[in-house]
Amino acid sequence: MVARVVPVDPFDLVVFGATGDLARRKLIPALYHRMHDGQAPEGARIVGAARADLDADGYRRMADAALTEFVAPADLDAASREIFLKAIDYVPVDIGGDDGWTALGEALPEHGSSRPRAFYLSLAPRFFGPAAARVKSEGLAGAEGRIVVEKPFGHDLGSARALNAALAGAFDEHHVYRIDHYLGKETVQNLMALRFANALFEPLWNNHHIDHVQITVAESVGVEGRGPYYDGVGAMRDMVQNHLLQLLCLIAMEPPAHFEPDAVRDEKVKVLRALAPLSSAENVVRGQYAGAGASASYAEDAQSPDSRTESYIALKAEVANWRWSGVPFYLRTGKRLRGRMSEIAVAFKPAPHSIFPGGGKVGQNVLAIRLQPDEGITLGMTIKDPGPGGLRLAPAVLDMTFAEAMRGAPSLRMPDAYERLVMDVIRGDQTLFMRGDECEAAWSWVDPIIAAWEERGDRPAAYDPGSSGPDDALMLLHRDGRRWREIAP
């Protein structure tokens, strides 16, 4: 059980791509959990749509198998399962053809009513525009219907603009929900609570007190079966343009006047537009994992022996505004690294003067916001080393790990990001979704960086699998007198 759920109104949710990996691994389990916890009401209707020639019972069997595979046994009970499966319907639909659209309309009676209705495009990106247009032209959405779009949102600024234009042709921006599942994580929202619901940090949240910020998204796995797809993309487009820049925005944004979708997104866009152009090659390090023993190299995984795609990137960004001038934001993300870790670390400037000669080193306070594993927030402090041995200083960590905070309520489960995001769509709350201009602003910063390395013909540096990335990435911080935080195995 999750505490304090606020039920949403009965809704219709059409999942296009209902037989695909994302739907089975994330969306079906997320919807089950919300119903199990009493947030999604029994009157909700979930309509799967894909080309596969299934009837409703056939799709229910597929959904049931997905629950068995992707929901923890402790959270599966027969009664909730039955109620959930009853809410599911399925219609074979071909996005590119005429098959199924009339039947889909018939599976969705009551349009025009005030019942929330959403269309989740869990489809390859080339279908986003055509699916939105068809939903509109078939009159399925009504005046208030919402469309949910998965990542990737474009490949560059031009394609993102074209996609925004295609969506705008069918749906008002206030009905478009661009998913970045990082924004649905509990800790990310806690970051906003930490910053804007506590008076403690705001006076320190600027270049007078913050030395630098590190944002790390490290994965221990390689590109696995996605190699050929990933090879045309790379870490900059796959991770930095969306997830890492979104995290940077939440750290760097000004306090919005209200916690209201456009007020929050206005502030995030300002951060993206304040990013200084990154023209210098020395502030961007690209890497590609090598092979070792039985562990395949990136080029082998991608089936592209001469690939120049980066599986790792580290860069030093600058938010060129009054608050952040002179504070580097170091971003890094990569595959087949030493461990799996997503973290934002805000490193404060050291105390200006130590009054403890010989008593120990005065450390740097670091506020670390961990997204995975073990979502939580820690604050690194310097304290007196306990005991009678005189006043010596020692590092200590104030730990706000949520699992600890929830110790008194062992039945509490940390909801997956998709659970929160799907419920926000139904509630009509766009706060945690990217607005079209945000996506374009992010691409506007990223495109010239990619263009510069393509023009130079740069090759990514090889790095050992299980390492922390290429040596040049270490130098990116060393030459500023700083170090990356450790990626734990």
Q: Provide the annotated active-site residues.
A: 243
Give the up-direction half-sphere exposure of residue 276: CA atoms within 13 A in the CB hemisphere.
Answer: 18
Cis status of the peptide bond prior to 470, with omega within 30 of 0: no
Assess 155 for contact with ligand NAP (CB under 6 A). Answer: no
Residue 303 CA to chain centroid, in angstroms? Answer: 27
DSSP 441-455: HHHHHHHHHHHHHHH
The nearer residue to ligand NAP, 20 or 142, going by C-beta atoms, is 20
Determine which helix (DSSP H) or strand (DSSP E) holds 285, and give its type and residue range.
Answer: strand 284-289
Q: Which stretch binds ligand NAP (CB under 6 A): 19-27, 191-199, 272-280, 306-314?
A: 19-27
Establish whether 155 is an annotated binding residue: no
Establish whether 181 is an annotated binding residue: yes
Assess 107 for contact with ligand NAP (CB under 6 A). Answer: no
Cβ–Cβ < 8 Å for 338, 354: no
The nearer residue to ligand NAP, 9 or 64, going by C-beta atoms, is 64
Minimal distance, residue 67 CB to ligand NAP, in Å: 17
Q: Which of 65, 124, 263, 381 binds ligand NAP (CB under 6 A)?
A: 124
Helix, strand, coil shares, percent, the chain, to 5: 40, 20, 40
Assess 52 for contact with ligand NAP (CB under 6 A). Answer: yes
How many Å apart are CA 43 and CA 318, to the nearest integer? 49
Minimal distance, residue 113 CB to ligand NAP, in Å: 26
Q: Which stretch binds ligand NAP (CB under 6 A): 122-130, 184-192, 434-442, 457-465?
A: 122-130
Residue 264 CA to chain centroid, in angstroms? Answer: 17
Closest by CA to 331, choosing from 448, 400, 252, is 252
The nearer residue to ligand NAP, 20 or 350, going by C-beta atoms, is 20
Q: Which residue reads 């306070």 in tokens?
A: 365
How many Å apart are CA 319 and CA 254, to the nearest integer? 12
Q: To 10 degrees, what angle do helices 28-36 and 417-427 make?
A: 70
Assess 93 for contact with ligand NAP (CB under 6 A). Answer: yes
Q: Which of 151, 273, 340, 349 binds ligand NAP (CB under 6 A)?
A: 151
Minimal distance, residue 149 CB to ligand NAP, in Å: 8
Residue 141 CA to chain centroid, in angstroms? Answer: 27
The nearer residue to ligand NAP, 20 or 255, going by C-beta atoms, is 20
Q: Which stretch binds ligand NAP (CB under 6 A): 11-19, 215-223, 431-439, 471-479?
A: 11-19
Q: Which residue reads 């805000």 in tokens?
A: 346
User: Which residue is at the shortest CB distance from ligand NAP?
Assistant: 20
Minimal distance, residue 17 CB to ligand NAP, in Å: 3
How many Å apart are CA 119 and CA 145, to the nearest integer? 8
Q: Which of 150, 211, 238, 419 binds ligand NAP (CB under 6 A)?
A: 150
Assess 55 for contact with ligand NAP (CB under 6 A). Answer: no
Assess 227 for contact with ligand NAP (CB under 6 A). Answer: no
Phi, psi angles (nearest 5°) of residue 462: -75, 145
Q: Which of 5, 9, 20, 204 binds ligand NAP (CB under 6 A)?
A: 20
Minimal distance, residue 138 CB to ligand NAP, in Å: 14
Establish whether 193 is an annotated binding residue: no
Q: With the CA atoms of 256, 423, 34 and 378 taken in that order, what torsion angle do they form, in degrees rounded to the nearest 10?
A: -20
Establish whether 165 is an annotated binding residue: no
Minimal distance, residue 305 CB to ligand NAP, in Å: 25
Q: Which of 42, 57, 82, 94 binds ligand NAP (CB under 6 A)?
A: 94
Q: Which of 122, 288, 311, 468 binds ligand NAP (CB under 6 A)?
A: 122
Residue 195 CA to chain centroid, in angstroms? Answer: 19
Q: Which residue reads 């919807």 in tokens?
A: 31
DSSP 150-188: PSP--SSHHHHHHHHHHHHTTS-GGGEEE--GGGGSHHH
Establish whether 390 is an annotated binding residue: no
Q: Which of 2, 13, 14, 22 binds ligand NAP (CB under 6 A)?
A: 22
Establish whether 483 is an annotated binding residue: no
Minimal distance, residue 23 CB to ligand NAP, in Å: 6
Bridge partners for 285 per DSSP: 314
Cβ–Cβ < 8 Å for 469, 287: yes
Give the residue numbers of the binding site for NADP(+): 17-24, 51, 94-95, 151
Q: Which residues sit at the interface with ligand NAP, rule CB under 6 A?
A: 16-23, 50-52, 93-96, 122-125, 150-152
